Every structure is written in structure tokens, then in C-alpha cells.
Structure 1
Amino acid sequence: MTPRPLRHLPSALRRFIDSEAGGGLVLMGAAALALILANSPLGNTYRAAVHATVAGHTVETWVNDALMAVFFLLVGLEIKRETLHGQLRTWPARILPGFGALGGMAAPAAIFAAVTWHHPGALRGWAIPSATDIAFALGVLALLGDRVPASLKVFLTALAVLDDLGAVLIIALFYADGVSLPMLGAAAVALALLVVLNRCGIRRLWPYLGLGLVLWACTWGSGIHPTIAGVLLAFTIPDKGAGKGDRHTPLHRLETALSPVVAFAILPLFALVNAGVEIGGAGGALQPVTLGVALGLALGKQLGVMASLVAAVKLGLARRPAGASWPQVYGVSLLCGIGFTMSLFIGLLAYAGRPDLQADTKLGVLAGSLVSALLGALLLRLAPDGRRKARAVPTAR
């Protein structure tokens, strides 16, 4: 007879794979492996593999420009779903995470700009510490179990979705380079055809994915980063099923199919390719970019998010997440300083052609994210539980 623990292994594994937090834990492992490889005797082999040429482009380029477009497609699908049916479907529900996202993007950017003000080449990376990595943050929350109220997990997810939307807009507006109008026009035609498919009620996915591939190729050639094509494609995927109440919409089917691929393959591969900074080769912790990124994430994020949340609640615009104490809210604000995936990605765009500044960025992202994760987890572990306090209050008569 199969022992009881083994009999329950498949269901436990399935729950792990189905959870976004599980993807965060795998992402942590991939980042740690990249860091170990880059600083081991295998460092040269690791770097040679990352820069090996495949079909005219390096492995790094294929991962960052092609595979990450799939990640941005999933981001766009999540933004659309949350806006139509999820935690962001009403304006009252958007206020608190919206305030947190705005403050959490503005304060880190201001700190980074203050640190790098006298270094014009470095100042281009002002947006690096402005986004929260939802996979990493939820991975940390998963390690804390039921110590964290479900309302805070929902709030963190909504805030990170809005953070991602802000990061997408920043990439599109500030990191386009040498725009080609003919290719941009071709991309616009592909996008228009996608909108026509949506308006005509086409629910099969393959026409959208085929045109999406054309949109990606045209965007790549236009000078706008090709990952933006993933978000634009996502916004055209239909969210209506065959009949009323049908949950198996094209958007739902595509998001369900992509989630495990992105969480357990694309993002870990991105981390493996991009997180491998040689500690001795980076400029050092006191370099302007490293310091600006680390302080922006570890200090700017928590201050910006927490100040915005307190302001929104005190002004009567929103309510504190149900069952959460202020120390717990502050703990989640600390976790917002985990900015791994988007921060690294923006750093690669901001300092294209500057491997020295890219290395400084990676060091700052790793340091700021690690400090934020440790402090946030510690505070959430020690903070008084708002749910117990609420139960302890006697009912008024």
C-alpha cells in the first residue's frame, strides 16, 4: 500500500503549481542560482551561455524581447480581468490600492533622482525602483501562512496590478528608442485588425495569437519595446463566452493556459539570465545607481505606499483592509519594495549599451528587494493581528 504522504503528494504538488506564490518561490530559487553561478568558477561559462547567439540574436535578447512579451501578455490579461470582474471593478475598490500604487511609484523615483541627480547618465533609470514584483511578494506571504489576513493579500495583488499598469505606461512613454514610423504604422494596422476581431465576436484564440505575433514583430521593428505588444494584444482578447454566465471566455482560457508557463518557466528563465551579477565586478554598494535603486525600493516604496494609504483612510476616501492592523498594513508596504522582475527589466531598457550601469542596477535591485522582504516578513510575523483585536472588542448594546 502506498504510504499516506506519497498518496497526497500529487494534490500538494498541484496546489503548489496552481498558486502564484509557488511561482514566486521558484523565481527566488532561479535568482539565487544565477547569483551563485555568476560568482562561481562557472561564471565565464554562465556568461557565455547568456550571450550565445541563436538565430541572429543572443539568448538574453530572445528571453528579454520575445519570452517576456508573453509575460506582458499575461500582465495585460490580469489587468483586464481585475478591472472588469476582480478587485478593481468598481471605483471605491480602486481607491486604496490606487493611492498606494501612486505613492509607491512617486516616492522611489524621487529618492532615486535625489541620489543620482549629479549623474545625468544614471538619472535615466529613475523608474527602476517604482514597480512591485507580485510573484516575489506573494511568495513571502505564502511563507507566513495564515498570519496575514486574506484582505491584505487581495490588497497587495490589486496594488501590484496597478503598479504593473504604471510600469507598462512608463516603458511605452519613456523607453522607446529611434521610432520607425512605417513599422509603427504596420503595428497600428495589426492592432486595428485585432480590435475588429473582437468587435465581430470572434472567440477562437488562434486568429488573435497569429495577429499578435505580427503585432509583436512590427513593434520590435518600430523602436518601441516589443513587450508592449503583449499588453496591447491582451486588451483585445474577448471576455465574453458562448452564452450568458459562461466563464470559459477566451480571456479566461488564455490566462489559465499562460499562468503556469509564465510562473514556472518564463520568469525563472528571465531571472536565471538577468540576475547573475558578478559582485566583485559591479561598481559597489555606494555607486549612485546601486544606492538609488536600493534606497528607492527599501525606503521609498514603504514610505510612499504607507503615507498614501494613511492619507486615503484619514481623508475618508477608503477603508483599511478588513481585519488588518496598521502594523500589518505597514508590513505589506515593506513587501512592496520587492521589485525584482519589473525593476530589472526597466534597468535593462534604461541602460541599454551600459553593462556597468546594468550591473549596478542588478546589485541595487537584489539588495533593496532582499531588505524589503526580510523586514516585511519580520514585521508581519510580529505584528498584532487585526482579526483578534476585532474579536476582542465587546459588542455595543
Structure 2
Amino acid sequence: MSEGNARPVRLLDRGSWPETQRIAEILRKETVGGVLLLAGAVLALVWANSPWSDSYEALREVRIGPAALHLDLTLSAWAADGLLAIFFFVAGLEVKREFVAGDLRDPRRAAVPVAAAVGGVVVPALIYTAVNLGDSAALGGWAIPTATDIAFALAVLAVIGHHLPSALRTFLLTLAVVDDLLAIVIIAVFYTRDLSIGPLLLALLPLAVFTVLVQRRVRSWWLLLPLAATTWALVHASGIHATVAGVLLGFAVPVIRKKGSGPGLAEHFEHRFRPISAAVVVPVFAFFAAGVTVGGFGGLVTSLVDPVALGIVLALVFGKTIGITGATYLVSRFTKAELDHDLTWTDVIGLALLGGIGFTVSLLIGDLAFGAGSESDEHAKIAILVGSLLAGMIAAVILRARNRVHRRICAEESVDADHDGIPDVHQREV
């Protein structure tokens, strides 16, 4: 704790009012995206297990794009390599925004979600590795259960937790933001097999021009879009997964205005592209990625006894919960900080379980690890769906019970006795 008049360090406190408002806006968009994501995944599963499954596979394998540029990709590949670059562009904007101008610019406040995200990556990876030890081919999927699907998790939270404190929602979002950053680093470092230095070096040229233009606050799409597309194409040609280009482009965008205060270009782009990412990009990717033939109850059981699938399910349900909760607890012990007085460790466990909802990035890593359409990839997809469903259901039971307890807190947070537009709880000294 701090001495004197300094504010004591608390874990998962509610944060500043501007940040709370911004997070609430993001949550609304991501929640809608989560519903559309679920719809895309269900449609793919129904179609892939229907008498017309051949037509679904044929649609996924349709090729479009210029062959001369080696971009004659299948629709499934365009969804994973092309559309998801937009998703990671928004993630890059959000990561930079959080650490430059958000509440996470305070190292004390950033320590909790960063530690939780790291714990939520390391422990699931260790559990998966332990289950598949000795099988070198299966070990390639160690990173599959490390990702958290923010849209899906927030959609579940929105349904079951109307009265949960805003601090929990902020924690889940910021944890997922850091999780996305870790995921893209893992993809770039561990899932790049054939690296071509030439295209990668060439990609630095349009990226540099893009950076100069956005730093000068240029918004002209006819200038920026071709540069972004060229950067993406060259990164794709280099052998590094093309979604890395999206993150690099997002990091290039300035967060703060050069003169005066207020939002910078990053917030402008985020407002433009987040709805596209949530409502189009992720649901379309889910539609092309989630279509796996289950083969009835017998096929489901056969898939889940595969060590690859078993490792993913255990890692998502138990690994994420242990990793996120354990890391948060360790931060508490080493910093001698306490949970915010409105929260208990049961809230943290429920939220950690939501972190076990891995979908978008998990499916992507599964394709990269085993090859799209392989038996291991199909088993991994089933495991991702089952593990995410189990984690979401257990989280729903815990957080639903806590939701009733938090109704009073929700009412307190909305009180604005002085009618200045800012709830009194955000102006009160702790």
C-alpha cells in the first residue's frame, strides 16, 4: 500500500470515468460481434454436418485472386489471412491505445491484466504439452489453447452479468487485448516455417510511408489503403502470417493529437474499423473455420479422446482458470495490494473461466499448427468448441450467482447526486 495521502493500490478497481465510458462503448460493439460470431459458427457446423456438406467444402475451396502475385487463395485462406488482418489491425490500435493513453499507462494498473494474460498463456501451454508429451507432431499445437476470444467472452458476459462491476468487464477486455498481442507474437515467432527475407524487407517500405502519413494525420483512404494492402501482400509473401501486418499497421497509428488534448487518429480508425471487424470479419472467419464434421456422438467421443483434443479441452477449462487466477493472486501477494472492496476471488475465478473461451485465434493457430483439413486440425476444432462451451457454461453458473450480489453495486455506480454527468463513485477518494 502507498504511504501518506497516496491512493492505495487496489486490484481491479473501477478506473477513470473516461476510460469506463470508452470501454462500455467497445463492449457494446464486441457483444454484437459475439452474437454474429456464434451465428456464423453454428451455421458452419450445421452445414458441414448436413447432407449438403460437400457444397460447404466446395465453397471453402473456391479460389480467387491474382495468380501472378501468388494470391490466388481459397475463400477459407482469404478469411484467415486477409480478413483477420483487419481484426489484428484493430487489436494493434487497441493495444497501443491502452498503453499510451489508457489506464494501463500506469504500470501499477497494467501489472494485473498483463500478468493475468501471461499466466493465461503459459499454464494452458504447459497443460497441453504435458498431455501430448512424446508426440512431436501433436506438440506443434501447444499454442492453440492460449488465446481468448474477446467477442465470444463478452457476449457471454453481457447475457449473464448485467450487474457485474465495470471493473470486471474492463479487466476482461484489457486481458484479451494483451492476449491478442501475445498471440500475434507466438504466430510470428513459432509458426513461420519458410521465411523469405526479400519480401519482408520490401514490406518495410510501404509500412514506413504509411507510418509517415498517419503521423502527419493523413486520413485519405486512397493513399493509406494501397500502402496497407501492399504491406500485407509482402508480409504474406515473406512466409510470416499476414495478420502480423495488421498489428504493425495498427502500431504505426498515433494515439494522441500532436497539438492539444483529445483523441488521435487511432481512435478515429478504431471507430471506423471495429464495427467492420466485429460484425463482418470475425463472423465470416468463424463461418469458414468452424465447419467440422462431427460424425454424431460416436465421432465426438472419438475426437475428444485424441490427446490433441484432450489437451486443448483441459487447457482451456483448467489451464486458463489456473493461469489467470494464479497470476492475479501472485500480483496481489507480491505487491501487497488487495482486491477492490466490491470484489471477491470468486469473481476473478468466474472471469478467468471466461478467458477459456478460445475461438477465433485458436482456430487460426490450429490451422497453422496442423494444416487446414488434417485429422488433427479437425479434432482440434471440435476440442476448441467443446472446451469453450464448457468454460462458458461453468463461468455462467459462477457469475450468474455473483450477478445477484452485485446489483447493489451497480445501483451505487450509477448515482450522480451532483448531476455533473459523472457517477459519484468515480469522484470519490478511496
Give your verdict on TM over 0.5. yes
Query: For residues 44 and 321 of structure 1, what CA distance do their matches in structure 2 show?
Result: 54
* Cα deviation digits, residues 162-217 of structure 1 (max 9, x gap): 11111011011111121111111101223333333355x24324333322111111
Tell me the residue number matched to 2:282.
Answer: 267
Name whichever of 310-319 and 158-167 sits farther off.
310-319
Tell me the residue number matched to 2:225.
Answer: 209
> Is the 8 Å Cα contact of residues 137 and 338 (structure 1) preserved in structure 2?
yes
> Is the 8 Å Cα contact of residues 105 and 130 (structure 1) preserved in structure 2?
yes
Does residue 47 of the first structure (1) align with residue 57 of the second (2)? yes
Q: Which amino acid aligns with 1:105?
A: V
Name whichever of 206-215 and 157-166 sits farther off.
206-215
Please, which runs of 5 or more residues in structure 1 have no aligned partner? 1-14, 392-397
Tell me the residue number matched to 2:32.
Answer: 22
Tell me the residue number matched to 2:326.
Answer: 307
Does residue 374 of the first structure (1) align with residue 393 of the second (2)? yes
Does residue 359 of the first structure (1) align with residue 378 of the second (2)? yes
Query: For residues 242 and 275 of structure 2, what CA distance do their matches in structure 1 show?
Result: 22
- CA distance 1:255–1:128, shift in 2 (3 Å): same
Does residue 233 of the first structure (1) align with residue 249 of the second (2)? yes
Tell me the residue number matched to 1:186.
Answer: 202
> Is the 8 Å Cα contact of residues 208 and 233 (structure 1) preserved in structure 2?
no
How far the C-alpha of 1:66 sits from its partner, in A, is: 0.8
Query: Which of 38, 41, 62 is residue 31 of structure 1 equivalent to?
Result: 41
Query: For residues 333 and 271 of structure 1, what CA distance do their matches in structure 2 show?
Result: 23
* Cα deviation digits, residues 5-60 of structure 1 (max 9, x gap): xxxxxxxxxx9995311211221121112111111112111111111222322110
Query: For residues 205 and 123 of structure 2, what CA distance do their matches in structure 1 show?
Result: 38
> Is the 8 Å Cα contact of residues 103 and 110 (structure 2) preserved in structure 1?
yes
Query: For residues 204 and 49 of structure 2, what CA distance do their matches in structure 1 show?
Result: 44
Query: For residues 227 and 410 of structure 2, what CA distance do their matches in structure 1 show?
Result: 53
Query: For residues 27 and 114 of structure 2, what CA distance do their matches in structure 1 show?
Result: 29
SS of aligned partner of 2:142: coil
Query: Which of 294, 298, 306 is residue 279 of structure 1 equivalent to?
Result: 294
* Identity across the alignment (%): 39
SS of aligned partner of 1:65: helix
> Is the 8 Å Cα contact of residues 17 and 260 (structure 1) preserved in structure 2?
no
How far the C-alpha of 1:322 sits from its partner, in A, is: 5.5
> Is the 8 Å Cα contact of residues 155 and 321 (structure 1) preserved in structure 2?
no
Query: For residues 93 and 319 of structure 1, what CA distance do their matches in structure 2 show?
Result: 13
Query: For residues 97 and 317 of structure 2, what CA distance do their matches in structure 1 show?
Result: 30
- CA distance 1:78–1:300, shift in 2 (3 Å): same
Query: Which of 109, 129, 138 is residue 125 of structure 2 equivalent to?
Result: 109
Tell me the residue number matched to 2:141.
Answer: 125
Query: For residues 338 and 110 of structure 2, what CA distance do their matches in structure 1 show?
Result: 11
Query: For residues 241 and 113 of structure 1, what CA distance do their matches in structure 2 show?
Result: 46
Tell me the residue number matched to 1:395.
Answer: none
How far the C-alpha of 1:269 sits from its partner, in A, is: 0.6
Query: Which of 154, 179, 196 is residue 212 of structure 2 equivalent to?
Result: 196
> Is the 8 Å Cα contact of residues 147 and 381 (structure 1) preserved in structure 2?
no
> Is the 8 Å Cα contact of residues 47 and 53 (structure 2) preserved in structure 1?
yes
> Is the 8 Å Cα contact of residues 45 and 290 (structure 2) preserved in structure 1?
yes
Q: Which amino acid aligns with 1:19?
A: K
Query: For residues 24 and 202 of structure 1, what CA distance do their matches in structure 2 show?
Result: 32
> Is the 8 Å Cα contact of residues 21 and 136 (structure 1) preserved in structure 2?
yes
TM-score (norm 1): 0.89
> Is the 8 Å Cα contact of residues 328 and 380 (structure 1) preserved in structure 2?
yes
TM-score (norm 2): 0.82
Please, which runs of 5 or more residues in structure 2 have no aligned partner? 1-24, 66-71, 412-430
Give the superposed CA RMSD. Answer: 2.3
Q: How does 1:151-162 map to 2 (within 5 A)?
A: 151-162=167-178
Query: For residues 112 and 234 of structure 1, what CA distance do their matches in structure 2 show?
Result: 31
